[in-house]
Structure 1
Amino acid sequence: MTLGDFPDAWYLILSSRLIPDLDGGYTISALARAGQMAEAGAAPLLLTVDPGTVDAHAAHRATFVERGVAAAPGMFRNLFDEAAAPDGGAAAWVRQAAREGGADPAFEYRSVAGGAIELPQVADPDWHLTTAPIVIRDAAGEPVGVVDGFGALYRAWLTSLASGLRAENDRPIVVICESRQLGELIVGWGDDRVRIVHTVHTIHLEPPYREDSDLNALWRRWFEISPRFDAVLWPTAYQRDDVRDRFGAVANDLVAPHAVVGPKVSVPSIDRDAGRVVVLGRLAPGKRLGHAIRAFARVSAEVPGARLELWGEGAQRADLEALVVELGLDQVVTLPGLTTDPGAVLDRAAVYLTTSAFEGQGLALAEALAHGTPVVAYDIRYGPRDMLAGGGGILVPDGDEDALVDALRRVLTDAALRERLSTEALDAATTLSPARAMQTLAAACAEALSRDRRR
C-alpha cells in the first residue's frame, strides 16, 4: 500500500490509555492499527489521556517498542505529559482554556501533571461527563482558574494540538477515536476541518447477548450520538447488521475488521503437536474457561496425549486452578501465564479453542487463523461466525459442552481434518490482512473528507 491511498491529512489515533498487558485485545488492536497506518504512509500520532506520570508513560512506550508493537516512542503523545510547562505550572494551552473559579468542596482532588492540574475524584460510572471544575495552577502552585470537566480539558488539548500541527503543515485532520467515552466528549468539537472516524471494539449488548438484549449502559448515549460521527467502523458484519436491524441503517456505518499479521511461513499440520489445544486471553468470567476445562476432562479421557494450555492472566486464575485440581487434570491442563509471543504458542498448537460468551471480534481467533491453526469456537456474538464463514474451524452451538467435546475430539484424532482446516484458516485470514484493513480505512477517511463534517 502506498501513501496515495490515504488522503493528505494529519491522522490522530485517540485512546483513553495504552498500557502493556492491560485491556486485552483493545490495546493490541489500537497499536496494530497505528503500526499498519504508519507502514501505509499515514504517519499517525497515538494520543492518550490517562493521568499517569511522564516516567510511567515512557516505560509503557519503551515496552511496546521492545515488543515490536510500536515503531518508536515518538509516535505517542499524552495530554497530561503536555499539560505542564517546562518551568513549572500549567502549559499555555491549559491556562488559556481556564476561566475564573475554584475547586468544588464537594469533591476530593488529586494532583497530576507535576502539580499543574488538580482533578476532581468523581465516584460515578459516568465520571467522564462531569463538569466539576478542574483546577489549573501556575508555576508557584497558585490556582489560575478552572476548566469545566474532562470534556473541556480534552477538547482544549486537541484544539491546541491541531493548531500546532497545522502550523507545521496546513491540512485537514482525521481523528480515529478508539473509545466510546472519548467519542461522547469530542463529538461536539466544533472544528470544521476535523473528521472523526469512530472504531468499535466490543459488544453492545448485555447477557444473554441476543439481538434484543438490553443495551450495555455504556452504549446507550453513544447510540444517540453515533450518526454524528463521520464514520463508524464495526469489526464484524454480524454486529453491524444487528445494529441496523434494531436502530435502522445509517450512512456512516462500515464493516472494518481489526487486521492481524501472520507469519511469512506457516507451520504445517504435520509439524505441530497433534495433542496440544491452546487458549489465549484474559482469565476472566466472560471467557467461560470452566467450559474449556470441563470439556477437556472428557476429551483427555478419550484422546491419549491431549493437553490444554490456558495462556493469560486474570481474576479467575485461582478458581480455574482449583477446577483443574478438582477434576484431576493437573497433568494435562496448565495455566502458563502471559506470553509476549502468541505466534509461537499458536505455531505449536493443533487447535485454538475459544469458549467466550461474547467478543467484539476476537483478536486471538484472528491470529490463530493467520497462523494456520484450526479453531473450535462457540457461535457467539461476535466474531467466530464471520471469521469462520469460509472455513478454518468448527463452530459449536453456544454453550453446548457436548458439541464442544465432539468437535475437539474430531479435530485432535483426524490428521486429514486438521490439515484441511489449517489450509482453510490461512485462506480465511486473507480477509483480515493489514492491506485490506488499510484500504477500508483509507476509503472511509477519503469519503469523510470529501464532504462536510456530520457533527
Structure 2
Amino acid sequence: MTGQPHVFHLITRLIKGGAEAKTLATVQGLKNDYLFTVGYGAEYDLEPLNRLNEWGVETERFPLIRHYNPVTAVPAVVSLAQYLRREEFDIVHTHSTEAGIIGRFAAALAGVPNVVHTVHGVPFTEDRNDTLNRFVLACERRAAMYTDTIATNADVIAEEYLEEGIGRSGQYTTVYSGVDLDAFADATPADDLPGERPRVVMVGRLAEGKGHGVLLDAVESMGDFEGSVCIVGDGPLYGSLGSEIEERGLSDRVFLTGYRDDVPRILAASDVLVLPSFREGTPRVITEAMASGLPVVATDIAGIPEQVLDGENGYLVPTGDAAAVREGVGDLLRDSELRERMGERGLERVEEFSAEAMVGQLDGVYQELIGE
C-alpha cells in the first residue's frame, strides 16, 4: 500500500442524528491519517454535508439506498458494487441497518479487502413488525459473513447479536460513541429556553421509537409540578407532538423548541435529561448529559446501562413505563441535592466515552486490518 489508506464510510441517511455525528467525528479525528470518502443514501441534510465539504472530504450520494425500502435494495447493491470496484478502497466501513446490509453485500461483490460495520442500535425490537424483524435478522446474519470487524457501541449489543446467531465472537469489538467532553464542561447556559427551572430536557430526532408519548404520559400524570419540560429536536413527529401537547393541556409545561445547534448550552440550562426510547445503541445525548453534570432517566435497554448506573448517576426504567419515568423525574425535580450528587457521579465516569477514546479505538481497528 502506498500513500494514505483509502476508507469509504457508508451511512443510510446523512442527517442530524447520533449515528451521523459519530461518523463525522471519526472522519474529523482521522482525516489527517486516512483518505476518506463518505457515501450516503437518498435522505440527507445540508449541514453535515457542508461540514464534510469544508474538511475537504469527498462525498457520494446513492439515491437507491433508502430507509427500510426493500424494493430498491437489490439495485442499490449492484450500483454500489460497481462504484466500489472502480474506486479500489482499502476499507469499507458501513453504518446503520440499511447501509450496513447493502454496503457489505456490495463490498463482497466488489472484492473489497477489509470491511467494518458499526452497529449504532439494535434494529430488531419488540415495537417493530415481526416480519420485518425476521427479514432484518436474516440479512444481518448473512452480511456478518462478509464482515471483518463488527463494532458495537455497547458490550450488551454484541452479546445480543451473538445470541441471535449474527457472526462470531472474534469479529466483535466495543467502541463507545465518543463526545467532545470539553464542549459540554464549560458551556454557557442558554438564556432563551421556554419554561422555568428545574428544567427536564429530552434531546433527539422527533421520530417513532424515541418514546415521546411515554414522556407526555408521565408529565400528564404528575399534575402540577415545579419546573418545565423542553423537547429539543426536529423530525416527522413535530406537528403531531405539538398537537398532542395542546390537546392534553400541557402547553404551559411542555415546550417544543425545534432543532437547535447549541446542545451544550441547552444542557447547561437544564437539570434532568430524560430518554424513554424503545430502541437505542449507546446514545450520545446521555454521554453529553453526563459531561454536563446532569442526572439521567432513561430506559433499561441496549448500551444505556453501560452509561447510566441505576441509582448512581440516574434511573433506569422499563420501556413504555410512564409511571416509572414519572417517579424518577419526580424524585429528581423535588430534590436538588440528589440531582447534584447524581450529576457529579456522571462526571466521574464520563471519560471513557470521549471522542478521543472512540477515534483511537477505530484507528486501532483500521491499522489491524491493513497490517500497519
One fold, TM greater than 0.5?
Answer: yes
Q: Which residue of 2 aligns with 1:156?
A: 82
Equivalent-residue separation in structure 2 for 1:324 and 1:360 (angstroms): 28
Q: Which residue of 2 aligns with 1:30?
A: 23
Structure-2-length-normalised TM-score: 0.84
Asked if structure 2 preserves the Cα contact closer than 8 Å seen for 1:353 and 1:377, the reply is yes
Asked if structure 2 preserves the Cα contact closer than 8 Å seen for 1:378 and 1:396, the reply is yes
Q: Does 1:392 align with 2:309?
A: no
Q: Which amino acid aligns with 2:21?
A: I
Equivalent-residue separation in structure 2 for 1:215 and 1:419 (angstroms): 41
Q: Which amino acid aligns with 1:253?
A: Y
Gap change, CA 1:266 and 1:75, over 3 Å in 2? same
Residues 232-381 of structure 1: matches in 2 within 5 Å?
232-247=150-165, 249-263=168-182, 266=185, 274-299=197-222, 301=224, 303-304=225-226, 306-380=227-301
Gap change, CA 1:213 and 1:8, over 3 Å in 2? farther
Higher mean displacement: 349-358 or 359-368: 359-368
Select which of 334, 342, 346 maps to 1:421: 342
Select which of 403, 424, 428 maps to 2:324: 403
Q: Which residue of 2 aligns with 1:431?
A: 352
Q: 3-state SS of the aligned residue for 1:376?
A: strand
Aligned-pair CA distance for 1:438: 2.2
Q: 3-state SS of the aligned residue for 1:153?
A: helix
Select which of 218, 222, 226 maps to 2:140: 222
Gap change, CA 1:246 and 1:125, over 3 Å in 2? closer
Q: Which residue of 1 aligns with 2:10?
A: 15
Q: Which amino acid aligns with 1:384?
A: I
Q: Which residue of 2 aligns with 1:383?
A: 303
Residues 83-122 of structure 1: matches in 2 within 5 Å?
none
Aligned-pair CA distance for 1:231: 0.6
Asked if structure 1 preserves the Cα contact closer than 8 Å seen for 2:52 and 2:59, the reply is no
Gap change, CA 1:289 and 1:17, over 3 Å in 2? closer
Equivalent-residue separation in structure 2 for 1:183 and 1:242 (angstroms): 20
Equivalent-residue separation in structure 2 for 1:45 and 1:243 (angstroms): 28
Number of residues paired by the alignment?
358
Structure 1 residue runs of 4 or more that deviate by more than 4 Å after TM superposition: 49-52, 270-274
Aligned-pair CA distance for 1:283: 1.9
Aligned-pair CA distance for 1:307: 0.3
Equivalent-residue separation in structure 2 for 1:265 and 1:47 (angstroms): 27
Structure-1-length-normalised TM-score: 0.70
Q: 3-state SS of the aligned residue for 1:285?
A: coil
Query: What's the C-alpha RMSD, in Å, of the aligned pairs?
Result: 3.4
Higher mean displacement: 248-257 or 343-352: 248-257
Gap change, CA 1:129 and 1:379, over 3 Å in 2? same
Residue segments in structure 2 that go unaligned for 5+ positions in a row = none
Aligned-pair CA distance for 1:14: 2.0
Q: Which residue of 2 aligns with 1:176?
A: 93
Q: 3-state SS of the aligned residue for 2:340?
A: helix
Equivalent-residue separation in structure 1 for 2:250 and 2:370 (angstroms): 57
Q: Does 1:186 align with 2:110?
A: no
Equivalent-residue separation in structure 1 for 2:321 and 2:25 (angstroms): 33
**Which has the higher Rg, Structure 1 or Structure 2?**
1
Q: Which amino acid aligns with 1:76?
A: E
Q: Could you tell me the percent identity over the aligned residues?
A: 21
Aligned-pair CA distance for 1:276: 0.4
Select which of 35, 39, 43 maps to 1:48: 39
Q: 3-state SS of the aligned residue for 1:294?
A: helix
Higher mean displacement: 25-34 or 7-16: 7-16
Equivalent-residue separation in structure 2 for 1:256 and 1:278 (angstroms): 26
